[in-house]
Amino acid sequence: MVGFGEHLKANIASEFGADAYLNYKELDELIQQLSATAPSGPDLQNRQVSMTVPPQTDARGLAVHSNGVTEEEFLRRMDEELAKVEKFTLKQVDSLRKKIEAVENSNTPGMNAADEIANYFLQLEKYVNINFMGFHKILKKHDKNLPNVPCKAFYVSRMHAQAWVRGDYSDLVVRLSHIYASLRDDHVVDENNDQQSFLRQTTKYWVKTEDVSRVKYYILRHLPVFLQKTSTGESDSQFTNSVYLDNDQLELYHGRLEKSPGAIALRLRWYGNGNPKLVFVERKTHNDKWTGEVSVKERFTVDESEVHQVMTNTYPIEEKRKEMLAKGKSEKECDEWETLVREITQVFVSKQLVPTCRTQCMRTAFQIPFDATVRISLDTNLCMISERGYELNGMKTWHRNPDWILQPNEITRFPHAVLEIKLELKGGNLTPPKWVRDLQNSGLIYECHKYSKYCHGTAVLLPEDVRAVPYWVDDVTLRESIIASGGGRILMEPGEEAAPGANAIYDHLLPFGDQEKDRSQTAVGRTHASTAASKGITGENYTKSNIQTGFDTNYSEEDPFLDDDDDDDGACGWCFPFCSRYNEYAEQVVAPTSIQKVEPKLFFANERTFLHWLHYAVVLSSIGSAVISLSDDSVDDWRQSYALALLPISLAFIIYALHVFLWRQDQIKQRIPARWDDPMGPILLGSTVVLVLVIQFFSHLYEIAKAGIEEGQI
């Protein structure tokens, strides 16, 4: 097994040098020396000392400090190492900013220069992560070997307060985005905030925190960061709030969870920090694609002071309509707007909707402004907040005051970033570009089918009120956050058996594994060996492909398979979009993250195929039975042998049809990303029928010729 010291040594970047990294070996040796000379432990309750009492001794009766190694020495070295890493990180960030400035000022910036900067930043992020992990591990080892003088909690809190950990360097992303946009010659057009309806297909993915920068920089090569007009431009992210409305029965929650036809979700959204000014009133309507309809998001804007009018159905629609006409809006636009507003305001009153759950996140949007074919959003720092339990004041108070203190059971923090890939509906063709497919197949993103922030937050924060919970709550990586928020009752405890139809049947959809089957936080998800098998990449081939592409790079502090709780890390994975092996990777994708889309018509098609096979089996058996009934009693009659050959073939058709039907039914249920057709079965059965017919034809032809010769006719 590989210890973290060896792991750190193997992943030292040559451009940084070993001296820039945490001196893990020296700190480890200090811990070993302190452990060997540790006394029985001080009396932590005694608040008095005597200046004439000898110092504490170790097990041999020697003074603890006699060997020259003290706890103070370890703490001093920790302070030095922390300061060294922070100083080096800030120096490298300053260097990156200067390089970006040089590229920006260049008359002919090149793609290679931009890629070099992005690659260097990802190497620096890897440097930060591996040192951060190293500090965690050395502090964990210290507290394990010296339990009487714990210091991990103090130093971890201190690290999180230092600039090299808490610093936000997303301004580099924005500046790189402008460079790539100029290289692509993108043309910005005016943003249309009045667009009310969006017809698109959205697929949602989870992204591990350590992969966020890699995903961002990969997308930047193809789409620019789309900054809202309210953004200051200093960051690639924008603070986004969404308050979801529901009633006491959580009618909208259960409708969205069950994906009932026409199920709606209503939310009030605003952007930016502080109190809202401009609020988007949005309605999302779910429709099953197999019915020929698509899900739609519709919205209109109101001032913050008008929100309570919308919620109480007192919004002055006629006056607003006249204002829109005066501004030059067409009658059709005004009619559509009025219809939408009336429907939403009436739903507020008829269903007695009140604020239920709020989602907060930092949203990074990627989009070419004049082209909505592909839009991507990445939500980080995602959390859900309960909007129940305070006085609404006639709907004038519709979200929590940010100054109010949140209790642990009123907020839950989602441990992953959420990526949404949105494809514009154009003639029903939703095939994404190749670069999008490469991202989906990269192993950096994990699809979570029909994931909903609102459903997750409501289930975790209101566990007493929900009748059903989304399947993804059983994912192993969510357990700690759910329990910390007081939603443990929605989890299936180890050893429990889920009833038929419960979340257990969806465990194949969980991105990182089931709570029951995998109690660790290290599940790599279904995007590796499990789905590689669907492409024929198994065993030695899968291992070789993983090594070549360098993408199996995730490691965890709680990895049970390696010494000192650590795992190995492939260096190439950290510079994924920009490394020289990317083209090689693109040609040998190991494991797709996308899963098969399942609609009711798939089950019907499977049944129709089964019935078609049975139909041909009945035809063959009927022909065989008819031939037998018309044949003579003579054993030598060729018609009997012909019929007896057809009957077992018809039986083979039935057995094959049943086998394929059950196999495909399981494939559909499991949404396995593999081929659902059988290229060999029909060929074998068809060839058998042809062979029997050919043999019978030539046998009968031979009998006729033989009889003719015997009778002298030939």
Question: From residue 198, how far is each of 241, 245, 296, 298, 377 by CA, in Å?
Answer: 20, 21, 6, 7, 15
Between 367 and 672, name the one with better pLDDT.
367
From 103, 205, 121, select the one nearest 167 (Cα to Cα).
Answer: 121
Least confident of 139-148, 589-598, 693-702: 589-598
Q: What is the mean pLDDT of residues 261-266?
A: 89
For the ranges 54-63, 354-363, 412-421, the lowest mean pLDDT is seen at: 54-63
Provide the pLDDT confidence category of residue 241 given band limits of 50, 70 and 90: very high
Per-residue pLDDT, averaged over 76-86, amounts to 94
Closest CA to 263 of 199, 384, 351, 341: 351
pLDDT band at 219 (very low <50, low <70, confident <90, very high): very high
Report residue 530 as tokens.
């499990």
Q: Note the residue count of the chain.
A: 714
Return the H-helix or E-strand segment holding 670. Answer: helix 638-670
What are the structural domain ranges in the chain?
A: 1-37+70-185, 196-509, 600-712
Measured distance CA(390)–CA(387) in Å, rounded: 8
pLDDT band at 224 (very low <50, low <70, confident <90, very high): confident
How many percent of the chain have pLDDT more than 70?
Answer: 74
Mean per-residue pLDDT, 236-257: 92
Q: Does residue 447 carry a pLDDT above 50?
A: yes
Name residue 384's beta-bridge partners.
359, 412
User: Across residues 261-290, what is the average pLDDT?
Assistant: 87
User: Beta strand 417-424 with 411-413: parallel, antiparallel or unpaired?
Assistant: unpaired
3-state secondary structure of 238: strand
For the chain, the first-to-last Cα distance in angstroms comes to 86
Helical (H) or strand (E) element with 639:
helix 638-670
CATH dotted code for 196-509:
3.20.100.30
Mean pLDDT of 581-588: 40
Average pLDDT over the chain, rounded to whole? 78
Q: What pLDDT shows up at residue 403?
A: 84
Q: Which pLDDT score is estimated for 212?
A: 92
Per the listing, tokens 């103070």 go with 72
What is the predicted pLDDT for the residue at 115?
87
596 burial via Cβ count (<10 Å: 0-12, 13-18, 19+): middle
pLDDT value for 593: 43
What's the confidence (pLDDT) of residue 580? 43
Q: Is the pLDDT of residue 504 over 60?
A: no
pLDDT bracket for residue 362 (50, 70, 90): very high
What's residue 21's pLDDT? 93
Beta bridge pairs of residue 417: 207
Of residues 351 and 665, more confidence is placed in: 351
β-bridge pairing 278-285 and 411-413 = unpaired
Segment 286-291 shows an average pLDDT of 70
User: What is the C-alpha separation between 430 and 199, in angstroms, rounded?
Assistant: 12
pLDDT at 560 over 70: no
Instruction: Say whether pLDDT at 556 is over 80.
Output: no
**Position 425 pLDDT exceeds 60:** no
Cβ count within 10 A of residue 329: 14
pLDDT band at 578; cut points 50, 70, 90: very low
pLDDT at 166 over 80: yes
Query: Token pair of 94, please?
Result: 């300053």
Task: Provide the pLDDT for residue 136.
Answer: 93
Least confident range of 155-169, 426-440, 494-508:
494-508
For residue range 531-542, what is the model confidence (pLDDT) as tens digits?
443 333 333 443
* 596-610 tens-digit pLDDT: 556 677 788 888 889
Please give the helix or strand (H or E) that residue 667 lies within, else none: helix 638-670
Is residue 698 very low, low, confident or very high in pLDDT (cuts 50, 70, 90)? confident
Instruction: Over range 379-399, report the average pLDDT.
Output: 91
- Rounded alpha-carbon distances, angstroms, from residue 601 to 212, 256, 534, 606: 37, 21, 23, 8
Label residue 484 by pLDDT band (50, 70, 90).
very high
| pLDDT band at 132; cut points 50, 70, 90 | very high
Q: Given a cut of 70, is residue 561 above it in pLDDT?
A: no
Which phi and psi (to 5°) does residue 367 adopt?
-165, 140
DSSP annotation string for 370-417: TEEEEEEEEEEEEEEEE--SS--TTTT--S--TTSPPPGGGEEE-SSE
